[in-house]
Amino acid sequence: MALTPTERKTMKARAHKLDPVVMIGAKGLTDEVLLEIERALDAHELIKIRAPGLEREAREVAFSAICERTGGEAVQQVGKVLVLFRRKKDKDD
């Protein structure tokens, strides 16, 4: 479910004070990194991911793959930082 423009604006404001909780290193997007992203999304819903070791094209591919594989939605990307949102799963599901 896509975020509305109002929700996206709210998420950007919430994310402004956040520090990156996951870093993508020189090895790129590994299964371990994806697992950490999943854990962070389960705990926080809204996270920042930083990819300082990746070139622009590799970073774009990695960020797209993260969204696809986690079911999260990119709220904003500024340089090497991605803000990612995924609603918490209900315990009843």
CB contact set of 65 (below 8 Å; sequence gap of 6+): 29
Mean pLDDT, all residues of the chain:
93
Give the closest residue to 46 by CA, choosing from 65, 68, 74, 25: 74
pTM score above 0.75 = yes
pLDDT confidence of residue 2 = 84
**Residue ranges of domains in the chain, CATH in brackets:** 5-85 (3.30.110.60)
Give 13-47 pLDDT, tens digit per residue.
999 999 999 999 989 999 999 999 999 999 999 99
Is the confidence at residue 93, as pLDDT, over 70?
Answer: no
Q: Which whole number is the average pLDDT over 59-64?
A: 96
